[in-house]
């Protein structure tokens, strides 16, 4: 690690470094500066302030890491009941693009028992290989047990990239795997690309409350790990003619975490709205003015057979339940048609819907940011436009 020290023969106890240190990690004792190494973060403020060259930071030489043995792009094949979770197919589509840039293979990791049919489905959706770990002890998701099994696979086969959906399961699992493998992890990504020069993964995610899109890299550790939001990438199409390899791995039941035992699964009641699966969404924003005006949004949605969405401002104001919220802190959606009514288009909202097939914006402000991502825009009073549009749709029916 890097080291910092005071060169006693050059220090005259002037105290300039004390005032420069933002962490109060330096004090003057017997006319000499003393550094509290427990507080020091090597920010270099003291080094730059010292006029006498009395502070020295010795940097440890960085060793070149050899990652040549790390290959393949892996996708955690999360299952939901009898089916593979839809986010897995999105990840397989993106994984194929990443693997093409890296000239490597795509592999899926599947855990449980009696999974041959699911393994074939993963191959048809883009996996070149499926690492299949079958054990009765893995039939039900328990984070500790899945972590043990997958960490063993990673250490044996050394994938370059490991991806999972940013679901409740994915978030709880991959963070544990990252710790066990001493690897970096970026959560809630909305974009993944390969940097052409260094061939490393660029992971894009919202940061600082969604006000910026941060690009994060993990160049010094493998595998490079990320969880990815559902509905921000298109699904891989099924190709029934695709062939792939199923690699079967055993799991020692003695390795199961005995502290945790599966008792029962109680399914949550269906939410009032399933935005993630809707083909058409009509969303209302602060431009509606009051909760009562959501009736015109509901009328348009009914005429289209659509789901009703909302911006965060309306949810925070108590106009509509949270289950309708679209955006960074709500649902990420990817419908065929998204109609934004009275929504200005702040980045927090755009993150959740910008991958929609066709975006239609209705707003009286011609400079609203929503128009920058919209395929079609109507500049006008939504209280005039939406009722007319609803009436016309009902006439067509």
pLDDT tens for each residue of 355-382: 888 999 999 999 999 999 999 999 999 9
pLDDT confidence of 65, banded at 50, 70, 90?
A: confident
Helices and strands of the chain, counted as H and E runs: 10, 21
> Is residue 394 classed exposed, middle or buried when 0-12, 13-18 and 19+ CB atoms within 10 A define those classes?
exposed
The CA distance from 75 to 94, in Å, is 10
Is 71-255 CATH 3.40.50.720? no
Higher pLDDT, 32 or 255: 32
Cis peptide leading into residue 223 (ω within 30°): yes
Predicted pLDDT of residue 209:
62
Residue ranges of domains in the chain: 3-58, 71-255, 275-396
- The H or E element that residue 281 is part of is strand 280-284
Cα-based angle 309, 370, 276 (whole degrees, multiple of 5): 30
Q: Look-up: residue for tokens 């990438």? A: 233
Can you list the alpha helix ranges (DSSP code H) found in 21-72?
A: 45-49
Percent of the chain at pLDDT exceeding 70: 95
| Common-topology check for domains 3-58 and 71-255 | no
What does the CA dihedral 374, 380, 384, 387 come to, rounded to 10 degrees? -10
The number of residues making up the chain comes to 397
Percent of the chain at pLDDT exceeding 90: 45
pLDDT for 6 beyond 70: yes
The answer to whether 378 and 359 are in contact (CB under 8 A) is no
Looking at residues 244-252, what average pLDDT do you find? Answer: 88
The CA distance from 266 to 167, in Å, is 18
Predicted pLDDT of residue 270:
43
Predicted pLDDT of residue 109:
94
The answer to whether 341 and 389 are in contact (CB under 8 A) is no
Predicted pLDDT of residue 251:
82
* DSSP string computed for 192-215: EEE-TTT--EEEEEEETTTTEEEE
Q: 165 pairs with which residues across the strands? A: 228
Rg for the chain, CA atoms, rounded: 27
Predicted pLDDT of residue 193:
94
pLDDT for 64 beyond 80: no
- Identify the sign of the CA torsion 350, 353, 359, 364: negative
> Is residue 68 classed exposed, middle or buried when 0-12, 13-18 and 19+ CB atoms within 10 A define those classes?
exposed
The CA distance from 160 to 74, in Å, is 8
Higher pLDDT, 142 or 89: 89
Looking at residues 292-308, what average pLDDT do you find? Answer: 90
Q: What fold characterizes domain 275-396?
A: Rossmann fold (3.40.50)
Predicted pLDDT of residue 252:
79
Tell me the per-residue pLDDT of 106-130, one tens digit each, with 9 for 90 and over.
Answer: 999 999 888 889 999 999 999 999 9
The CA distance from 176 to 186, in Å, is 13
In CATH, which of 1.20.1050.10, 3.40.50.1100, 3.30.70.20, 3.40.50.2300 is domain 3-58? 3.30.70.20
Tell me the per-residue pLDDT of 22-51, one tens digit each, with 9 for 90 and over.
Answer: 888 999 999 999 999 888 888 889 988 999
The answer to whether 175 and 168 are in contact (CB under 8 A) is no
pLDDT for 288 beyond 50: yes
pLDDT confidence of 271, banded at 50, 70, 90?
A: very low
Looking at residues 273-292, what average pLDDT do you find? Answer: 86
130 token code pair: 């499926």
Higher pLDDT, 266 or 291: 291
Q: Mean pLDDT of all residues in the chain?
A: 87
pLDDT for 292 beyond 80: yes
Predicted pLDDT of residue 397:
63
Tell me the per-residue pLDDT of 167-209, one tens digit each, with 9 for 90 and over.
Answer: 888 898 999 999 999 898 999 898 999 998 888 999 988 776 6
- The H or E element that residue 180 is part of is helix 168-181
Tell me the per-residue pLDDT of 68-84, one tens digit each, with 9 for 90 and over.
Answer: 889 999 999 998 777 88
């Amino acid at each position: 690690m890097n080291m910092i020290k005071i060169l006693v023969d050059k220090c005259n106890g002037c105290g300039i470094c004390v005032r420069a240190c933002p962490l109060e990690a330096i004090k003057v004792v017997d006319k000499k500066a003393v550094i509290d190494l427990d507080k020091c973060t090597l920010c270099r403020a003291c080094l730059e302030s010292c006029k006498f060259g009395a502070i020295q930071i010795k940097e440890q030489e960085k060793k070149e890491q050899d990652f040549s043995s790390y290959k393949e792009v892996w996708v955690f094949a999360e299952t939901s009941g009898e089916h593979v979770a839809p986010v897995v197919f999105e990840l397989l589509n993106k994984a194929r693009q990443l693997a093409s840039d890296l000239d490597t293979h795509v592999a899926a990791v599947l855990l449980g028992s009696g999974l041959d049919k699911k393994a074939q489905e993963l191959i048809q959706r883009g996996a070149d290989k499926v690492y299949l770990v079958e054990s009765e002890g893995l039939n039900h998701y328990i984070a500790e047990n899945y972590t043990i099994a997958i960490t063993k696979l990673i250490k044996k086969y050394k994938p370059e990239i490991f991806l999972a959906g940013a679901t409740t399961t994915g978030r709880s699992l991959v963070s544990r795997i990252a710790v066990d493998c001493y690897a970096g992890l970026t959560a809630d990504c909305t974009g993944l690309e390969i940097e052409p020069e260094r061939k490393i993964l660029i992971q894009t995610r919202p940061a600082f409350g969604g006000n910026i899109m941060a690009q994060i890299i993990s160049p010094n550790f493998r595998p490079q790990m990320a969880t990815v939001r559902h509905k921000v990438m298109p699904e891989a199409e099924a190709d029934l003619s695709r062939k792939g390899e199923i690699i079967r791995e055993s799991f020692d039941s003695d390795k199961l975490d005995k502290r945790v035992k599966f008792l029962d699964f109680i399914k949550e009641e269906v939410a009032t709205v399933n935005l993630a699966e809707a083909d058409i969404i009509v969303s209302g924003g602060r431009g509606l003015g009051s909760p009562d005006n959501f009736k015109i949004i509901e009328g348009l949605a009914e005429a289209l057979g659509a789901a009703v969405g909302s911006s965060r401002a309306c949810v925070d104001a108590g106009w509509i339940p949270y289950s309708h919220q679209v955006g960074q802190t709500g649902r990420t959606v990817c419908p065929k048609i998204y109609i934004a009514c009275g929504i200005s288009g702040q980045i927090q909202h755009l993150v959740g819907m910008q991958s929609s097939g066709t975006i239609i914006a209705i707003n009286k402000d011609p400079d609203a940011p929503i128009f920058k991502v919209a395929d079609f825009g109507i500049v006008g009073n939504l209280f005039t436009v939406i009722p007319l549009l609803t009436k016309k749709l009902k006439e067509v029916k």
